[in-house]
Amino acid sequence: MTSQPFPYLLLPTFWAARNRARRREPGDSARLMLFGSIGLGVGAAIFAAVFWLTWQLDYYEELGDYLLRLGLSWLFLTFLSFLAFSGIVTALSTFFLSEDLRLLVAAPVAPPRLFYSRFARTVGQSSWMVATFLAPVLLAVGLARCAGPLFYATALLALAAFVVIPVALGSVVTLALVNVFPARRARDVLMLMGLLFAVSLVLMLRFLRPERLLNVESLPDLTAFFATLQSPVTPLLPSFWAGETVFAALRGGVDWVHAGALVTTALAFAVMARAAFVRYYFSGWSKAQEARKARFTRMRGLDVLARRLPIRPLGRSLLLKDVKVFLRDTTQWSQLLLLVALVLVYLYNFRVLDLERIPYMGAMVKNVYAFVNLAMAAFVLSAVAVRFVFPAVSAEGPAFWIIRSAPVPMRSFLWSKFWTGLVPILLMAEALTVVSNRFLGADPFLRVLGAVAIFFMSFALVGLATGMGAQHPRFNAENTTQVAGSYGGIAFMVLAVLYILVMIALLAWPSSLYLWHRFRELPVPARSQAWMALCGLAAIALSVGTFWASMQKGIRSLEDMG
Amino acid sequence: MILVENLVKKYGAFTAVDGVSLEVASGEIHGFLGPNGAGKTTTIRIIAGLLKPTSGRVLIDGQDLSVSPEAAKASLGFIPDRPFIYEKLTAGEFLRFHGGLYGMDGDGIGHRVAEVLELFELTKWEGELVESFSHGMKQRLVMCAAFLHRPRAVLVDEPMVGLDPRGARLIKQVFRHMSARGVAILMSTHTLEVAHEMCDRISIIQKGRIIARGTVDDLRRLAGSADEQLTPVFLKLTGGAGLQEIDEDL
């Protein structure tokens, strides 16, 4: 039996990261620059905002202190549920689904050692995002209040203890789930649970209509709003202890009660999780290896429907395969739930938007909003495309040999991916634009323009996503989210946003010129008409060019593969 | 049926395949042997159209793979060493999809799917998801797909990996049956007994070059070995005879 301490089991992770850093692949430097700049930019923005806010709160003395204390507590509370859920999902992968576990479980490694190494990995993986976000926040608060080194040391300790508690709890929940369901089925259950949780949170927050708090007439609501923050349960949560500990350190003192509660609870939870894992891990692990017969729907209706479509056999085969694989993969289609919720919230926002409150400006503001709406709809479209269309080629995974060794031209293959992505996205984008413009009460001219523009934009953005997905495939990715978050996915989003901005500029200027003349019942001068036509043609050319060039590049890159 | 001329594949400065030429006639089972990393899989993947050669050409049924890839691939069936297939399709759906890629459509495909499933003893699994299949079953399903469109040539990379003795016997029977019907089979394998038992001719590749070719008797003569078994002949030709001595000492 190995006598090495548990960090020894983490060495392969570090070595793999080190080797990856040493062996740069083409495009790695550009990727590092891009992600690094985005990360630094976001970090700097968070730091600046929190620094400014803390600086401002300093002017309000006691009220400022109260709000800062409340803010810290709320920040930790927000992360508490996120960490617990993230802990559940990560523990499923690190304790039960990782490929290297077969080697480790078969090796003479004592269960507590295996637990510690995997738990350390779970804590790291599920909390790095929270830590990365909190670092500039706590740094900004500390610098704005000129805090001493004690504050930073306490914040670090509090953060470490704080993340251990929900992750330990999440790991134990996973252990219980895996002992009840097989691990792969448990993953589906968790995905659905998490998404339903996220969807209900988004809907609940939106339907509370927080914009009411911004009205002067609703100041009494503001007081009530803050009163609800102080529920009797709050002081019993680790988030409250962490907030209090950090706040006390900010004022130069040590809150021994809350710091003690935080650290001892973290230790107790870790010990409890260790005991549970030593007792139940092997039975759960063993169950995770069992391949149960999966239940699934045969979707015979889809076969019948596809047979009636006027497409070639090859296109029909690819379409049927793609749709069935998508719908049978819970991790794929369940994300549509989140999408539906976001679309509902989006439309609801337009429903409750009260532009009539702005006297004389109503019509103009509405028309400006019609373009904001178009940009937003196109942005939603890009977000959907990066998640569902961009990974379409990569989704073939290691099974891509089937297509490549078959007499299938890469052109036909990529066009099939394009049409499969375009139809649902076009329908969604059109519905979104038409319904929201109707709720908004935009001018009929703009309603037609919006519908036509989003038609062209759908072609361009879906073409861009399909083509770039073929240029930057990741056939070894574990899931499509990883593909969407890759360098190619980010590059697609950057290009998509640039395209949307140029399109809006090309459409908004001639439209506003036309409406200005129409409201004043003046004829549009010939010179302006020529400019307007030129802008319209440029928008069409840009869309067709983006769509066509991306698809051609994608096809070429698939043909040149290997 | 399969004609390979002066195939070269370079990865940077490393030459994985160095001027390989092969010819597999209709009805012939041609073994492709070599030590690990000799270039077998790379050659097979180039012939299957999965990799682009640096130079050289491949003709399948008279069609140049680089000039008319679709026509060349239409006559070919490919069985890779690792059976990665769409896990969320049933066996029947996968085969129908595969048939669609080769232009098979309509009512005829259902009959043909049933036929190949029966041939590879997978009939009762037609409606089950591939994700619930064992490695051997997936391997047999891939073979169903390779023979579904009645190819005139078949490429096989390590056919016996993961198969139980019954499955291995079944595959041998199917290959013999197909070769008797005029299908050309190029088979890369490490299992020398299989090559000995089944192949009409064998090519041995080492460091990217073909170092020997012929029937088992030809190879035996070439190696100067009187041994009945193919293993000592193979080791002698590939310079691994020392390994056999170690094996015998152990």
Q: How many Å lie between the alpha carbon of B26 and the closest alpha carbon of chain A?
A: 20
What mean pLDDT do residues A192-207 have?
A: 64
- Tell me the torsion sign for CA atoms A257, A263, A266, A268: negative
Q: Residues A52-75: pLDDT tens digits?
A: 888 888 787 777 788 888 888 878
Chain B, nearest residue to A407 by Cα: B70
Q: Residues B74-106: pLDDT tens digits?
A: 999 999 988 888 888 889 999 988 888 888 877
Inform me whether the C-beta atom of residue A314 falls under 8 Å from chain B C-beta atoms.
Answer: yes
Contact (Cβ atoms closer than 8 angstroms) between residue A491 and residue A467: no
Q: Which CATH class, in words, describes the domain spanning B2-75+151-249?
A: alpha beta
What mean pLDDT do residues A218-227 have?
A: 52
What order do you get walking across the sheet with B209-214 strand by strand? B76-79, B153-157, B184-188, B29-33, B201-206, B209-214
**Could you tell me the residue ranges of all domains in chain B?**
2-75+151-249
Q: How many Å lie between the alpha carbon of B243 and the closest alpha carbon of chain A?
A: 28
Inform me whether the C-beta atom of residue A336 falls under 8 Å from chain B C-beta atoms.
Answer: no
Please give the residue that has the higher pLDDT: either A265 or A371. A265
What mean pLDDT do residues A36-40 have?
A: 84
φ, ψ dihedrals at B77, nearest 5°: -115, 140
pLDDT at B23 over 90: yes
Contact A401 B48 (CB under 8 A): yes
Q: What is the DSSP secondary structure assignment for residue A181, as one 8-state letter?
A: S
Q: How many Å lie between the alpha carbon of B192 and the closest alpha carbon of chain A?
A: 27
Q: What's the pLDDT score for residue A68?
A: 84
Confidence of residue B123 (pLDDT cuts 50, 70, 90): very high
Euclidean distance between CA atoms A94 and A119, whole angstroms = 8
DSSP class per residue in B120-162: TT-GGGTTSBGGGS-HHHHHHHHHHHHHHT--SEEEEESTTTT
Q: What's the pLDDT score for residue B246?
A: 47
End-to-end CA distance of chain A: 45
Q: Residue ranges of the alpha helices (H) in A441-486?
A: 444-471, 480-484
Interface test with B, best of A321, A323, A394, A560 (most B CBs within 10 A): A321
Contact A298 B90 (CB under 8 A): yes
Question: Residue A246: what residue type?
Answer: V
Q: How many Å lie between the alpha carbon of B93 and the closest alpha carbon of chain A?
A: 8
A539: helix, strand or coil: helix
What mean pLDDT do residues B195-201 have?
A: 88
Inform me whether the C-beta atom of residue A490 falls under 8 Å from chain B C-beta atoms.
Answer: no
The fraction of chain A above a pLDDT of 90, given in percent, is 32
Confidence of residue A145 (pLDDT cuts 50, 70, 90): confident
Q: Which residues of A touch B102 (CB under 8 A)?
A: 406-407
φ, ψ dihedrals at B120, nearest 5°: -100, 20
Chain A, nearest residue to B129 by Cα: A294
Q: What angle do CA A240, A241, A243 make, to 5 degrees?
A: 65
Give the nearest partner residue to A402 out of B45, B96, B98, using CB atoms.
B98
Q: Which residues of A touch B105 (CB under 8 A)?
A: 313, 316
Most confident of A291-295, A357-361, B173-177: B173-177
Find the range with the poorest average confidence among A314-318, A333-337, B208-212, B221-225: A333-337
* Spatial CA neighbour of A465 closest among A378, A555, A547: A547
Interface test with A, best of B88, B95, B128 (most A CBs within 10 A): B88
B57: helix, strand or coil: strand
Q: What's the pLDDT score for residue A353?
A: 64
> Residue B67: is it exposed, middle or buried by C-beta count within 10 angstroms (0-12/13-18/19+)?
exposed
Contact (Cβ atoms closer than 8 angstroms) between residue A369 and residue A440: yes
What mean pLDDT do residues A243-258 have?
A: 90
Q: Could you give the C-alpha distances from A410 to A197, A395, A561, B122, in angstroms and in order?
A: 41, 15, 10, 31
CA atoms within 13 A on the CB side of A71: 14
Contact (Cβ atoms closer than 8 angstroms) between residue A362 and residue A355: yes
Most confident of A12-16, A234-238, B66-70: B66-70
Q: Which residues of B touch A408 (CB under 8 A)?
A: 70, 101
Interface test with A, best of B86, B87, B104, B137 (most A CBs within 10 A): B86
Contact B103 A314 (CB under 8 A): yes
Q: What's the pLDDT score for residue B82?
A: 85
Q: What's the pLDDT score for residue A467?
A: 96
Q: What's the pLDDT score for residue A7?
A: 79
Chain B, nearest residue to A320 by Cα: B97
Q: What's the pLDDT score for residue A130?
A: 86
CA atoms within 13 A on the CB side of A487: 15
Interface test with A, best of B97, B109, B134 (most A CBs within 10 A): B97
